[in-house]
Amino acid sequence: MNNNGFSTGEEDSRGPADQVCCLLDDGERCRNQAGNASYSKRIQKTVTQRRLKLSIDTAARHIYICDYHKARIQCARTKRRRRDSEDDSNETDTDLPEVDLYQLQVNTLRRYKRFYKVSTRPGINKAQLSETIMKHFKTIPIKEKEILTYFIYMVKSNSNKLDQKNNNNSSSNANATANEAT
């Protein structure tokens, strides 16, 4: 209830359980039940950047969104736009697996950026940094056949450096134990 423009808290205390999603999807109001996620300015910025046809309904008395739109916005945040990737790399091969660099820590992304000398503007956020690095990552050429052949050779010949380290450590520990026993 409103009292001279002030909220008494009754309408807010109902929670999202009996409310519908506050979004307009391509101009049509969503009828799904609202979840706990709210349509914040950060999410609104993501929606604008990704050109999703979502907007908040001004008639809605809350900012809660349904799980469907929450998942759609999260997917849009991590997915690259197909049009951009084709423009950048002149590739139309879409059967490549998508690597979600957004899951990495910011320090890891910065180390990648520093190692490969990827230029970015100062003050870039994690989403923009992961998107920039993803564009660079997809431009790195690989020779799949050569890599697989080398991998199979290393496995068959037991030439894995990690296996050698573990064997050397266990054999040196066994020698040390044998020397102590005598």
Q: What is the pLDDT of residues 127-182, one digit of tens each?
A: 899 999 988 988 888 888 888 888 888 888 877 666 566 566 555 555 555 555 55
Return all residues near 109 (Cβ < 8 A) that are at least 6 apart. 101, 126, 129, 130, 133
CA-based nearest residue to 38, from 56, 11, 13: 56
74-110 burial: b if 16+ Cβ within 10 Å, else e: eebbbeeeeeebeeeeeeeeeeeeeeebbebeeeebb
Query: Which of 14-23, 33-42, 54-63 has the weakest average pLDDT?
Result: 14-23
6: β partners = 3
Judged against a pLDDT cut of 60, whether residue 86 lies above it is answered with no
**Single-letter residue type at 150:** Y
Burial class, 50, CB count within 10 angstroms (exposed 0-12 / middle 13-18 / buried 19+):
middle
Q: From the DSSP assignment, how many helices (H) and strands (E) are in the chain?
A: 8, 5
Percent of the chain at pLDDT > 70 equals 66
Least reliable range by pLDDT among 15-19, 37-41, 100-104, 124-128: 15-19
Residues pairing with 29 in the sheet: 24
Residue 13: what pLDDT?
A: 47
Full-model pTM:
0.37
The average pLDDT across 92-98 equals: 54
Q: Tell me the domain boundaries of the chain.
A: 2-78, 82-137, 144-171
Using the predicted structure, report yes or no on whether residue 103 has a pLDDT greater than 50.
Answer: yes
Give residue 162's pLDDT.
61
CATH top class, domain 2-78: alpha beta
